[in-house]
């Protein structure tokens, strides 16, 4: 088992998800009189499903596009989104 890869994936997703809109939505659901266990289970299942889609898509795309290109594209998208957030009015 590749523990370094596991830790990298966990850390990346954990940091990316902190304070985002899905975490805030989960927080809002948990504040009501709903079952917190069901809120946790639903949110966890949703994250697992979206991660599964990303892993499957990454496996398919990785067959046709070299990893170095994917890293550059992903980096460019992150930079572009960061600039959009910084430069947007309001």
Domain ranges of the chain: 3-87
User: How many Cα atoms occupy the beta-carbon half-sphere of 43 within 13 Å?
Assistant: 17
pLDDT of residue 34: 80
Rg (CA), the chain: 17
Q: Residue 8 is inside which H or E element, if any? A: helix 3-17
Query: For residue 73, is pLDDT > 90?
Result: yes
Q: What is the pTM of this model?
A: 0.71
pLDDT score of 88 more than 90? no
Q: Write the pLDDT tens digit of every residue in 16-52.
A: 888 888 889 999 999 988 899 999 999 999 999 999 9
Q: What percent of the chain has a predicted confidence (pLDDT) above 70?
A: 99
The pLDDT score that the predictor gives to residue 47 is: 93
pLDDT confidence of residue 32:
83
Residue from 57, 47, 58 nearest 23 by CA = 47
pLDDT at 83: 94
pLDDT at res. 50: 93
């Amino acid at each position: 088992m590749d523990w370094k890869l596991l830790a990298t994936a966990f850390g990346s997703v954990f940091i990316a998800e902190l304070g985002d809109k899905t975490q805030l939505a989960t927080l809002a659901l948990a504040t009501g009189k709903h079952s917190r266990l069901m809120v946790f289970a639903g949110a966890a299942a949703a994250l697992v499903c979206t991660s599964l889609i990303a892993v499957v898509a990454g496996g398919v795309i990785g067959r046709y596009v070299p990893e170095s290109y994917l890293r550059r594209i992903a980096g460019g998208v992150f930079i572009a989104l960061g600039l959009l957030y910084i430069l947007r009015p309001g």
